[in-house]
Every structure is written in C-alpha cells, then in structure tokens.
Amino acid sequence: MKLLSAPRQPFVGLAVMAALGIIAAEILPLPSIALTATAIILALCILTGMCWPRLVATYAIVGAGFFLLHNFATQNTQGQQLADELGSRPRVVTAIGSVITEPKIASSRFATFLLKLKSIEFEDRKRSTCAVWQVRWKGAPEFGDELKFFGTAEPIPPPRNPGEFDMRAYLARRDVRRMLFVRYPEEGTLIRHGGGNPIMWAAQKSRTWMQSALCRGLEDAPDVQNFLSGIVLGLRHQTPEDIEEPFQQTGTLHLFAVAGLHVGIVAALLWMLATVARLSRRWAAALIIPLLLFYAAVTGLHVSSVRAAVMSSILLGGFFFDRKAFVFNSLAAAAFFLLCWDTNELFSAGFQLSFAVVGAIILFADPLSGFLQRWSAPDPFLPRTLVRGPQRWKHASFEWLCRGSSVSLAAWAGSLPLVLWYFYIVTPVSLVANLLVVPIAFFILAIGLLSVVSTPMLPWLAVIFNNANWSLARLVLGIVQILAHVPGGHFYAGHPHWPEKLVARITVLDLGAGAAVHLQSEEQNWLFDCGNDRSYQRVVREYLHWAGVNRLSGLLLTHGDALHLGGTAQLLDDFPRVRVLDNPAPDRSTIHRRLQHLFQDRGIKPAALAAGDSFRLSREVTAHVLFPPSTFSSPIADDQAYVIHVLVGPAASILFMSDSGIKTEQALLARHLDLRSDIIVKGQHHSGQSGSEAFLDAARPRLIIASSRDFPDHERISDSWIEELQERGIKLFRQDQTGAVTLRFRHDGWEAQSYFTGEIFRSTNQ
C-alpha cells in the first residue's frame, strides 16, 4: 500500500475524480439547457484555480469537468438525432458512408462492420449526418472503403432472454443506434478505396501482412493459425468457439487480449534492437514509443492494448525526460487519458477488467510473493555466497514459483468480481493454468514476432519459427483442454439476486418458432427441448450459465423438429451425463435420426415415455405424459409432440403443449382426461390452428404463454384468437412481445414475469 502514499503520483487522484464525475453524470444527467450555464461556471472556476491553485479545488474541477464531458458525449448525439427522426419502425434508406472498423465475415458470408455515414436518403429526402451505423452486407468491404447501400435501417433489438448479450446497450455506448441490413451483394456499391484514417488504414494492412507471415507453412493446421493470430495480433473474432471456450473455462482467455505481456515483449525486442544499434536511452525511447502505439493500432486499439501501450510509453518517457516514473501512476494516467478520449469506456467490461487486473497485480503481487517466500527462504544469517549447488537451484526455483503464483493469484482476485458479474464463471484452475500456459505463451509471442521480422529478409527462417510455434501452440491447446475438464476446475454461479424460497422456477425462453423450457426445483434442473443449433449456442447455453446450471438432471425432447432439438449434440458435449427422455413416435426428421445414432454411439439409452407414464422432477414436482400413446404414429411431427402435465406441489399445474394442434387436442378430449391447468405453455402448429374453444373449456387456464413470430404466417398468433382469450378472461403472454417468461411457484401461489417488459401476472390476479 506504499504505492498510494508515494510522491509524484498525481494521476491517481485525477483518474479517481474523473471516474466519479462520469458516474455522477450517468446517475444525474443535466438537461441540455443547463449544460451551457454549467460549462460557463466551470470555466470561471478553472480561471480562479489557475490564479489560486489548491489541490482540493483541482480535483473538484476535474470531477466537474468529466461530469460535463460525459453529459455532452451522451446527450443529443448525431446517432440519437437520426434515430429519433427515423422512428421506431424499420425504414428503407439509401446510405453513403465509410467503413471505420475491420469487417468481420461470418460463415454465412455476411460482413458486419461500422459505417460512418455521410448522408442518407429516405422518403425522397436527403440528409447529411455523421452518425455511425452497424451494417450487415453480403459483400467484401475493406477498412476505409466509401460505400453506397440500399437497405433497411432497423432498430437494434434488445435481449429477449436472461443471460443474452445486450448488443443494443453495447452499441449505444458508441452512439450506434441502428443496424443497416443489406440483403443482396448488388445493393452495395463501392465509391472509392483507401479512405478513412491513414494510420488505421496502414495498421489494418500491416495486420493482414503480419497474419500471413505468422501462418506461412501452417496451411494444414487452421486451429493453430487461429490461435497464433489471436495471441500475437489479438484477432479473437477469428478463433472458433470450441477453441476459445476452454480458455475461458481455465481463466486464460486473456492471452487473446493484447495487453501488458504482448506490449512488454514488443518493447523488449525493440529495446534489444536499439541496443544493438547503439542508440542512446533517450533516442531509443523516442523510437520505441510511437512503434508501441502503432502496435496497439495494429491489434485493433482494444482497451487492454491501448492501456499497456500508454503505460509503457509513460515509463519509457521517464528515460526521455530523465524523470522517474511510478507504475501505479502510469496505470492511472492510462485510465485518465482513455477517459478523456471516451468517457463511455468506464462502463465497458474490457476497461474494467484490464485496469482491475493490472491494479491488483501492482498492489498485491509483491506482498503475496514475500509472504509465500517465507516458507522456504534460506537462513537470513547465512551468507548468500554459501548457498550453492542443488540448494541454490531449489531456492531459485521456489522464488520463481512464488512470484508466478503471486501474480496469478493477484490477477485472479482482481478479476473475480467482474468475471462473476459479466460471465457468471469462477475458475479456480486458472491459478495453475496461468503458471503453465503464460511462460509458454511468452515464447510463442516472441517467436511469432521474430517470424514477422524475418519474413521480408529470410522467409525460410520464418517458416522454421512458425513450425516451432506450431509445437508450442499444440502444447498450450493440449494443456488447456486437459485443465478445462478437471472436476471443479471451473463452475458457473448464477447471476446475483435476492434469495427466494420457491417450490419451483420455470423459465420459458423465447426462441422464435423453437422452444426451450428450463424447470428448476430444489437441486434438480430439467430442460424441455433445447432449440436448434444456433439458438442453443447463442441463447440456451448463455442462459444456463447465467442461471448457474453446472449439472443438468434431464433433457426431454418433445418431437423431431429441428427448431426444438437441433442443439442436442452440443448440449451433450456440455452436459455428457444428462438423462434423456426422447419421443419414441417414428418421424421423418433427419436430425432426429442423426441424434438417435449419436445416442447409440455414446451409449445413451433414452427413456421412451408414452401416454400414462410419469416421472418425478423433484420431491414436489411431478410430470405426467398425456400424449402420444405408445402405438401412435403420424406423418406430421407436430401431431405427435409430447403433451406434459406438470404438477407443482399444491400450488399450480402447467400443461406443456409444445407445437400440438387441433388433432392432438381432439385426441386428448376424446380420452376424457382431466386437462385443468392454471398455465398453458404452447407453440404454434404448422397449420396455424390450435387452442380450440372446446380445449380451452376443458383446460380452463388462467394464463397462456405462447410463442409467436411474424414469419412464416402460421407461426403468428391470430387476432381473433387473442380476442377470444380476452373474452374468456385468460391472460396471454405472447413471446414476440414479452420475450422470455419466468414462472415462480410458492406454496401459497405463483407469478409470471415477462423478461422484456417486466410485466407481472400473479395467481391472485382477477
């Protein structure tokens, strides 16, 4: 803690006051009229402070200045003005602008990038603007290209399910309020190449060339190419998820974020070259600082790389000005300058994690290292010269281990609260993983940079370096894969919330025409369907992490629709010991048949339940299968979907209809079953007909949760059916308007809450 009281660390206080001013502006924004008057008063205070300087007054002025700066940065922006003018519905527009980010090409060949507009045209009106939009176009744009598009400007949708990434809030922090969807390649026209910031254009071109140099000779190992591109150049978006996820689970994902380790190695190599060239320390610093900043630009100007480059530049600037630089002050200076550039960075996960981790290392690594070294320190009264041979190696090795462990422990402790808040994961194994992987990553990065340097002059030597990196990369990937499967090495913790004494909690996720329902009671977690492959990756898996589900008790597959069970193969990779209940009715679904072969290959024997069977989800929750009978067969998958009646203690009953239609409802009514249910959860039959009057008379629900989407037509709830429910006094949660719906069951009642709107319907409501 001596760092906090050390002299000449003015940026620590300045950075703290800047952060406080920004937070105050976020909580208490000023109206536009008051901003000008406040700015004039602040200018007068600055003049007064210059005449009669006081430390407290300086800090107050800085805090007030950032309070105003954040207000100006977030109110009445170009993006907001244009969004207000376009309204809340999609608009067909013609837009002209320049690409200001590196396009990311998806497997569907759609490129996603940010476009800084020059003008847009809609409803026969042309308007000049400097707003920034996100664009999706099936083309091949480059950074700096000036393009003309004809497409649909759509509001960026908010998340519709718990745990889903909030892209709208993320882009809003960058004043990006609309997405321009350009359906066909010919609806985008290139006006000219080579526009934009020339430094960033050079950085993008340099990155492409450097990636080519790093991957030379590794054409048959795409996973290694992606790994090396990520670790050396920060090209994380090119890394497949099946490679990236084990790094997240072992707490080593920071290797793909260009930060202090990367910038430090680049600085060390440049310093060695400057030494060989016999440059003075001042000239060496003057040469290295702009090159470090350019390296940050090459790697994408991410917060971690900019922070590391600024810190290193300040430390090297001490050589240039013959001044001693303090590490903690340099860290605070980097934060201060980044907030000057963009006050919204304070609210980004990257900014918070980067500075929290480095701050924790600076503050706690040395004390922890000293504490650990006491356990095996040599006798303090014994002269160092007498410590020789194996004993000397023993003490040196233990000292290295203590230093590495202290850095890893400090970084883990500094990042833990933020990682838990943003990613819902705890990674105890990271303490070991970083000790093993980071030293190897140091050599990978160093060899990668040597490959880049040697490529122009000695390409054959670069290939040798790349093949050496192939071996090291394979070693790192192998270590990470092993540690990711260590029992207890990582686990997911549910998002922090007030504890509730519930009999059961049911979450009906919004997957459009698909379905996934999570039932949680006591320590049991069941999933009814899991969505298709894409929905499972983007929604269901993220929701399970958010909910803190580390073990899935059971998976019930209602019928052979890809939108309901297409993600099962991935789910089995994540939860290999899950109990599977599969619908035994024969169908023509190729995905269902493929899954059945997968079950055989993995030795999974699904329980084939039929009408009349029951299974228990927990002590107080029981499920009864109402349909289909064991001998039932239909050419239409929707007509043979499971119908499950779930009893939640004495509180309530829920009827899960899946995509059943009129024929299924008639079959249930013909058997004279007791269909009375408080809640019905249903999808849409392919014919668009379900929820008949006779069935509603028999079920008498108080609440219906139904999926709905505009396309295709049969997936949309009809207006006439909505009117009928209103006449019957049945509450409808249609998921195209409510998003996911959470049901909470207590012994004395239940309630349903919409995730999107926050609306609550209780069992006591009339």
Q: What does the angle CA 614 – CA 619 – CA 622 come to, to the nearest 5 degrees? A: 25
Q: How far is CA 623 from CA 85, 146, 461, in A?
A: 52, 59, 66
Cα–Cα distance for residue pair 5/14, rounded to 1 Å:
15
Q: Is 263 helix (H, G, I), strand (E, B) or coil?
A: helix
Cβ pair 125, 87 in contact under 8 A: no
Residue 589 has a CB neighbour count (10 Å cut-off) of: 18
Q: How many CA atoms lie within 13 A of 484 on its CB side?
A: 20
Q: How far is CA 395 from CA 335, 371, 377, 388, 401, in A?
A: 38, 15, 7, 10, 10
Cα–Cα distance for residue pair 229/238, rounded to 1 Å:
8
Sign, CA dihedral 316-321-323-326, equals: negative
Return the DSSP state at 727.
H
727, with CB counted inside 10 A (0-12, 13-18, 19+), is exposed
How is residue 485 written in tokens?
Answer: 């499967």
Buried b (16+ CB within 10 A) or exposed e, 737-754: ebbbbbbbbbeeebbbbb
Torsion of CA 244, 247, 251, 254, to 10 degrees: -60
Cβ pair 414, 357 in contact under 8 A: yes
| Residue 4 confidence (pLDDT) | 44
How is residue 558 written in tokens?
Answer: 């209602």
**What residues have CB less than 8 Å from 134, skipping those under 6 apart?**
112, 113, 114, 115, 156, 171, 176, 178, 179, 180
H or E element in which residue 406 lies: helix 389-423
Cβ pair 294, 203 in contact under 8 A: yes
Q: Is 759 helix (H, G, I), strand (E, B) or coil?
A: coil
| Residue 549 confidence (pLDDT) | 94
705 φ/ψ angles, rounded to the nearest 5 degrees: -110, 115
Phi and psi based region of residue 183 (left: phi greater than 0; alpha: psi -120 to 50; beta: remaining) = alpha
Closest CA to 648 of 604, 616, 672: 616
Cα–Cα distance for residue pair 352/599, rounded to 1 Å:
44
Buried b (16+ CB within 10 A) or exposed e, 284-304: bbbbbbeebbebbbbbbbbbb
Residue with tokens 């049911």: 506
Q: How many CA atoms lie within 13 A of 3 on its CB side?
A: 20
Phi and psi based region of residue 326 (left: phi greater than 0; alpha: psi -120 to 50; beta: remaining) = beta
Torsion of CA 272, 274, 276, 281, to 10 degrees: -100
Closest CA to 131 of 165, 95, 104: 95
Return the DSSP state at 384.
G
Cα–Cα distance for residue pair 748/503, rounded to 1 Å:
10
Cα–Cα distance for residue pair 306/302, rounded to 1 Å:
6
Torsion of CA 458, 460, 463, 464, to 10 degrees: -100
Instruction: Flag residues of the chain having pLDDT under 50.
Output: 1-6, 766
Residue 517 has a CB neighbour count (10 Å cut-off) of: 25
The terminus-to-terminus CA distance of the chain in angstroms comes to 61
Cα–Cα distance for residue pair 137/127, rounded to 1 Å:
22
* DSSP letter for each residue of 5-26: H-SS-HHHHHHHHHHHHHHHHH
Q: How far is CA 529 from CA 403, 624, 656, in A?
A: 48, 17, 11
E strand map for 100-173: 104-105, 111-122, 125-128, 132-137, 146-155
Return the DSSP state at 717.
P
Return the DSSP state at 607.
B
Q: Kindly state the percentage of the chain with pLDDT values over 90.
A: 36
50 φ/ψ angles, rounded to the nearest 5 degrees: -70, -30
**What residues have CB less than 8 Å from 588, skipping those under 6 apart?**
560, 635, 637
356-369 per-position pLDDT tens digit: 888 888 888 888 87
Q: How many CA atoms lie within 13 A of 667 on its CB side?
A: 20
pTM for this prediction: 0.87
Cα–Cα distance for residue pair 557/607, rounded to 1 Å:
11
Q: Is 626 helix (H, G, I), strand (E, B) or coil?
A: strand
* DSSP letter for each residue of 333-356: HHHHHHHHH-GGGGGSHHHHHHHH
Cα–Cα distance for residue pair 484/461, rounded to 1 Å:
34
The distance of Cα 246 from the centroid of its chain, to the nearest Å, equals 15
Residue with tokens 């054409």: 219
Largest CA distance in the chain: 95
Cβ pair 104, 110 in contact under 8 A: no
370-428 per-position pLDDT tens digit: 777 776 655 555 566 655 556 666 666 767 777 777 888 888 888 888 888 888 888 88
| Residue 49 confidence (pLDDT) | 63
Q: What does the angle CA 679 – CA 684 – CA 690 come to, to the nearest 5 degrees? A: 70
Cα–Cα distance for residue pair 346/617, rounded to 1 Å:
44
Q: Is 204 helix (H, G, I), strand (E, B) or coil?
A: helix
* Beta pairing partners, 745: 504, 750
Closest CA to 314 of 303, 327, 295, 299: 327
Closest CA to 424 of 248, 667, 240, 654: 248
